[in-house]
Amino acid sequence: MSEELESLIVYYSRTGTARQVAETLAAYTGWRQAEVRDEKPRAGLYGDLRCVLDMLLHRTPAYRYEGPLPSDCAQVVVVAPVWLGRLAAPMRKFLLDHAPFSGTVSAVCVMASRGGFRAEDDIAFLTGKTPAPALVLKQRDVLSGAAAEPLAAFAAALRARQTTPAPILRPVWISPREA
């Protein structure tokens, strides 16, 4: 049995945009990152075609992963791109293989223009947990730096979930002790 990690950022990135988001979150939180990688590279036109076919044919592509098991983590942040309006196939396969998750799940979905909320739904379905907090970013905002503020707010929300609230002390007249 492995030791439970507090939090993990697990990401898949074909173009590097989701990796940039994961690295930014790791810098804000200090949490460990782990990458889901394609077994076969997806570079160029052939790689684009494989992405489309994986999505249209609902294929489950082979991947490599060398990080901690999500089931050993109290909190997992999934960072993934959106392909054809849904969660990218390699991350979908990874989540399918590692579900159910025992801890909480949060998500950042990076999209070109649409489909981020459907990808969040895919994450909820595959992990058995509704991602909270969840964030949808446009690729152009990540690349231009316009996503920095939403990512900082997302990281603050993640850190807030880690803290245990102090016990609430109520006045004696509200909660009198029994004699």
Dihedral angle sign, alpha carbons of residues 48, 49, 54, 60: negative
Residue reference for tokens 């231009």: 144
Task: Give pLDDT, residue 165.
Answer: 46
First-to-last CA distance in the chain? 47
Kindly tell me if the per-residue pLDDT of 167 is higher than 50: no
Kindly tell me if the per-residue pLDDT of 4 is higher than 70: no
Model pLDDT for residues 66-117, shown as the tens digit of each residue:
999 998 899 999 999 999 999 999 999 999 999 888 889 999 999 998 888 9
5-162: CATH topology: Rossmann fold (3.40.50)
Question: Please, which pLDDT band fits residue 163 given cuts at 50, 70 and 90?
Answer: low
Task: Give pLDDT, residue 78.
Answer: 97
How far is 30 from 19, CA to CA, in rounded Å? Answer: 15
Model pLDDT for residues 22-68, shown as the tens digit of each residue:
999 999 999 999 999 999 888 888 888 888 889 889 888 999 999 99
Contacts of 152 (CB under 8 A, 6+ apart): 28
Q: Which whole number is the average pLDDT over 161-172? A: 51
Residue percentage of the chain with pLDDT more than 70: 87
18: left (phi over 0), alpha (psi -120 to 50) or beta: alpha
How far is 48 from 70, CA to CA, in rounded Å? Answer: 29
Task: Report yes or no: 139 and 114 within 8 Å, Cβ to Cβ.
Answer: no
Q: With CA atoms as reference, report the closest residue to 78 among 110, 45, 111.
A: 110
How far is 46 from 43, CA to CA, in rounded Å? Answer: 7
Taking residue 171's Cβ as centre, other Cβ atoms within 10 Å add up to: 7
Q: Which two tokens stand for residue 142?
A: 């990540």
Task: Give pLDDT, residue 91.
Answer: 96
Task: Give pLDDT, residue 1.
Answer: 38
Q: For strand 63-65 and strand 86-87, is the pairing parallel, antiparallel, or unpaired?
A: unpaired
Domain boundaries, the chain: 5-162
Question: Please, which pLDDT band fits residue 168 given cuts at 50, 70 and 90?
Answer: very low
Task: Report yes or no: 93 and 123 within 8 Å, Cβ to Cβ.
Answer: no
Task: Give pLDDT, residue 41.
Answer: 87
Question: Please, which pLDDT band fits residue 3 given cuts at 50, 70 and 90?
Answer: very low
Task: Give pLDDT, residue 25.
Answer: 96
Task: Give pLDDT, residue 10.
Answer: 97
**pTM for the model:** 0.84
